[in-house]
Amino acid sequence: MANLVDATSLQQFEELLKNNSKSLTVVHFHAPWAPQCSQMNGVMAELAKEHKHTMFVKLEAEAVPEVSEKYEITSVPTFLFFKIDRLDGAHAPELTNKVQQLGSSWGGAARAGDIPKEDLNERLKRLINAAPCMLFMKGSPQEPRCGFSRQTVQILKDHNVQYSSFDILSDEEVRQGIKTYSNWPTYPQVYVNGELIGGLDIVKELVESGEFENTFPKSVSLENRCSSVFILLTRVFVNTQAAKCGFSRQILEMINKSTRTVRKGLKTYSNWPTYPQLYVKGELIGGLDIVKVKCIKSSSNYL
């Protein structure tokens, strides 16, 4: 598609912006190792079919560091709407909303006869399946615009549910259409894996019955993430010269600096001059020789 391109250099990127200065340009800063970026690339491709007068640009953040640094890109996926707005994270409904709203304000909405209008049911199906858990509400999680939506958001937050949302007040066609599509006349509406769960009353019932935990996808808490990580302190240094972008190089230099500090300090702290060092429940066991001795003694107990 002519309005969906990859930018692989600073020069190409600047030329794209210059040539499309009179229309909306949406830039997706992505990385090949991030699965959510692949998902959002698919969303971009669908939007490009619908919005022929909007330019969609994919740019690998680490491959073109000059652009990423200039626009302070610190995570992927990130979307820039030149030069109007920004969206951080993989939020397909929000991306769709912003493209529709900003494209119209630039005069870039598809004109009648340009392309066939997407079937409403297909669009609703795409929105419902945009995330493992979708909340169709009035307003946004940050600013709910009705009491029922506010209560639903609070329940999802209290139970650490990972979800995306769609503001039905921003699109009258979706607001009316989804009532018929799912045969559910009120809002909010909650979907899990494309299936309607129900509204606030149903969500409360699931909480009371104890079924809630097994129904909704969970966000991984910071505590759980940290508890699953084991750090092995050893004599390993990372080769900063092997880094292929500025961001990676800076991180590796920070790791090396931290490793050197820990390496020196741990010797003094534990009064043990060599590595490796093995700890169990915070207590120093020793190095390789000590571990070998303990293994021999342990084996002898079985003879």
Radius of gyration of the chain from its Cα atoms, rounded to whole angstroms: 26
Nearest CA among 15, 31, 10 for reference residue 74: 31
In whole angstroms, give the CA distance from residue 58 to residue 233.
39
Residue pLDDT, tens place only, 48-77 = 888 888 999 999 999 999 998 888 888 888
User: What pLDDT, on a 0 to 100 scale, did the predictor assign at position 238?
Assistant: 46
CB 64, CB 34: distance < 8 Å: no
- Whole-prediction pTM: 0.44
In whole angstroms, give the CA distance from residue 188 to residue 151.
10
In whole angstroms, give the CA distance from residue 102 to residue 100.
6
Mean pLDDT of 20-24: 83
User: What pLDDT, on a 0 to 100 scale, did the predictor assign at position 255?
Assistant: 64
User: What pLDDT, on a 0 to 100 scale, did the predictor assign at position 250?
Assistant: 66
Q: Which two tokens stand for residue 246?
A: 């500025």
Residue pLDDT, tens place only, 230-255 = 443 333 344 545 555 666 666 666 66
Please give the domain boundaries of the chain with CATH numbers for all domains.
4-82 (3.40.30.10), 120-215 (3.40.30.10)
Give 128: exposed, middle or buried? Use CB within 10 Å, 0-12, 13-18, 19+.
Answer: buried
| Neighbouring C-beta atoms of residue 62, cutoff 10 Å | 19
Name the percent of the chain lying above pLDDT 70.
76
* Mean pLDDT, all residues of the chain: 79
Number of H-type helices and E-type strands within the chain: 11, 11
Bond from prior residue into 217 cis (ω within 30 degrees of 0):
no
